Amino acid sequence: MKEAEQAAKDAEIEVCIANFTDKQDSLLKAWYSGTYSKIAAMGGNRSGKTYSAAALFAKHIRDDARPGEYWCVCPKAEISVKGQQKALWELLPKSGFGKFKWNAKSGFGSTNPMFIYDECTAENPDGRNIEVYFKTLAQYDDDMQSFESMSVMDCWIDEAVSEELFAAVETRIILNDGKVLISTIPSQAAEWMYEVIHHAQDDDGVFLVEMFPEDNPIMTEEKLSRFIKAIPSHLREMRLAGKFLMAGARVYVEFDTDRHVLKHTDVPKEVSWYACLDEGMDHPTAWLLVAVDKSGALYVYDEYYSRNQPPTEDVKAISAIQGKKKLVWPTVADPALWQSRKTGMSAIAYQDAGLPVIPGVSTTKFGEDQAVYRIKDLLREERLFVCESCTNLIREFHLWKYKRDRQNKPLQKDAYEDRNNDGLDALRYLLTKVPRYVERKRGSFMSIPFD
């Protein structure tokens, strides 16, 4: 009987995993796929994020973790004891804990809580020595040294932590090709995740599954409605729908994937073609192909982004994207390209490489604010769209921010961050020239004057 009880207890992880929803399952699959280095469950409260992350991390420790140091990180010590520490204690087979014990008051120890799972001892000579340490954001803020460790294998972060702490974790796991598991709501304390996790780029190795309270199998309608009532209305978007509440910092709050992102096939057939370019020195270079239809609506049709490529390479790739589409004007570019720089005039380099360019109106004449407001109006009126192939530009629409002061409040004037705005800058230069639909006369070339 005792043995049967023990076996049942040892199967806690399997019981949890058997209950997994498809979303929770996808987290597990992503972890074992070998494709990702950051695996995140984000979304509303009580949606099953911690439940699935705990079972996954416990399984990893029990079955396939290699000898070494593992970290579990959360905001505060009390949360650690009742959260991550308790979860691992309850999920993992007790036989693996050896002399280590958890209790509700001090967890695995009131200072530097940790346990060694499957410890190598005289009785257990083949033990793997899995060292699991519990750390907190509070501890990091107090003493960054406590996060200096030779190397960490993998890490589970439950609840929001700071970008600095996350960076500290990342530098520790990199040498071991380690992974970070994240289970949190998009709290204001972790706005940085909006960029790093939510709008990660394809090669960032990020897997994200968004979970909502209604995904949780134990959430009944009655519970859900009580839960909704308990949340102040201004926090509902975040706590229920898992939305980042950072609208104050985002420039293009009007941009909405559902309304503004289209497929190529949604773009009208009769359009005029334009292109624009923002050359990056330290930033990426961005080139956009834009269609204007008869009503004057704009469609960013394709994009080309590159880093540290000579104009000749850029131009080859750009011509391939442009294909047979005839532009009304040469590519409209940042007027700074006509100023001589260390490398000489970039405008000439592009011309020589085979990409004719004309300058947009300089920002001193057509203010940045003015251009931004035009784009905001176009978005609001649903007269500016972006095709789904333009993943970099879409990301910028979500990420470009106002600068903030030390208290994290937006500054009043001339206050845009100079990052995540490469394609947006190119688009802004094109709009200063007011591109319009032009009727093409059969058999004749157009000569559209541009100032």
Ligand X SMILES: Nc1ncnc2c1ncn2[C@@H]1O[C@H](COP(=O)(O)OP(=O)(O)OP(=O)(O)O)[C@@H](O)[C@H]1O
Which residues are near Mg ion by CB under 5 A? Answer: 50
Give the residue with the Cβ less far from Mg ion, 28 or 130: 28
Q: Is 185 among the residues that bind ligand X (CB under 6 A)?
A: yes
Q: Is 274 among the residues that bind ligand X (CB under 6 A)?
A: no
**Residue 323: exposed, middle, or buried by beta-carbon count in 10 A (0-12, 13-18, 19+)?**
exposed
DSSP letter at 412?
Answer: S
- In angstroms, the CA 109 to CA 84 distance is 13
Contacts of 230 (CB under 8 A, 6+ apart): none
Q: Least distance from C-beta 9 to ligand X, angstroms? A: 17
Give the residue with the Cβ less far from ligand X, 134 or 147: 134
Longest distance between any two alpha carbons in the chain, whole Å:
92
Give the residue with the Cβ less far from ligand X, 49 or 433: 49
Give the residue with the Cβ less far from ligand X, 122 or 218: 218
Give the one residue of 9, 12, 21, 327 binding ligand X; rule: CB under 6 A.
21
The amino acid sitting at 274 is Y
Neighbours of 356 (CB within 10 A): 13
Residue by residue, DSSP assigns 29-44 as HHHHHSS-SEEEEEES
Q: Which two tokens mark 382?
A: 């649903």
Q: Least distance from C-beta 46 to ligand X, angstroms? A: 4
Q: Is 260 among the residues that bind ligand X (CB under 6 A)?
A: no
In DSSP terms, 291 is beta-bridged to 273, 299
Give the residue with the Cβ less far from ligand X, 44 or 435: 44
Whether residue 274 contacts residue 327, with contact meaning beta carbons closer than 8 Å, is answered with: yes
| Residue with nearest beta carbon to Mg ion | 50
Using DSSP's 3-state secondary structure scheme, residue 288 falls into strand
Give the one residue of 26, 47, 85, 139 binding ligand X; rule: CB under 6 A.
47
Helix (H) or strand (E) holding 234: helix 233-239
- In angstroms, the CA 278 to CA 303 distance is 12
- In angstroms, the CA 242 to CA 185 distance is 6
Q: Is 48 among the residues that bind ligand X (CB under 6 A)?
A: yes
Give the one residue of 1, 150, 218, 320 binding ligand X; rule: CB under 6 A.
218
Strand order in the sheet with 130-136: 114-117, 130-136, 68-74, 155-158, 180-184, 38-43, 206-211
Give the residue with the Cβ less far from ligand X, 61 or 240: 240
Q: Least distance from C-beta 127 to ligand X, angstroms? A: 30
Give the residue with the Cβ less far from ligand X, 41 or 277: 41
Q: Which two tokens mark 172?
A: 């520790």
The amino acid sitting at 207 is F
CB half-sphere exposure, 408, CA atoms < 13 A: 8
Size of the site for ligand X (CB under 6 A): 16
The interface partner of residue 216, options being Mg ion, ligand X, none and the CB cut-off 5 to 8 Å by kind, is ligand X
The interface partner of residue 268, options being Mg ion, ligand X, none and the CB cut-off 5 to 8 Å by kind, is none
Whether residue 280 contacts residue 307, with contact meaning beta carbons closer than 8 Å, is answered with: yes
Give the one residue of 38, 49, 62, 135 binding ligand X; rule: CB under 6 A.
49
Q: Least distance from C-beta 185 to Mg ion, angstroms? A: 8
Q: Least distance from C-beta 41 to Mg ion, angstroms? A: 9
Give the one residue of 31, 51, 117, 305 binding ligand X; rule: CB under 6 A.
51
Give the one residue of 26, 31, 36, 45 binding ligand X; rule: CB under 6 A.
45
Q: Is 331 among the residues that bind ligand X (CB under 6 A)?
A: no
* Binding track over 92-111 against ligand X, x by CB under 6 A: --------------------
- In angstroms, the CA 196 to CA 192 distance is 6
Q: Least distance from C-beta 173 to Mg ion, angstroms? A: 22
Contacts of 161 (CB under 8 A, 6+ apart): 73, 74, 75, 137, 140, 189, 190
Q: Least distance from C-beta 362 to ligand X, angstroms? A: 49
Give the residue with the Cβ less far from ligand X, 193 or 261: 193
The interface partner of residue 217, options being ligand X, Mg ion, none and the CB cut-off 5 to 8 Å by kind, is ligand X
| Contact positions vs ligand X (CB under 6 A) | 19-21, 24, 45-51, 183, 185, 216-218
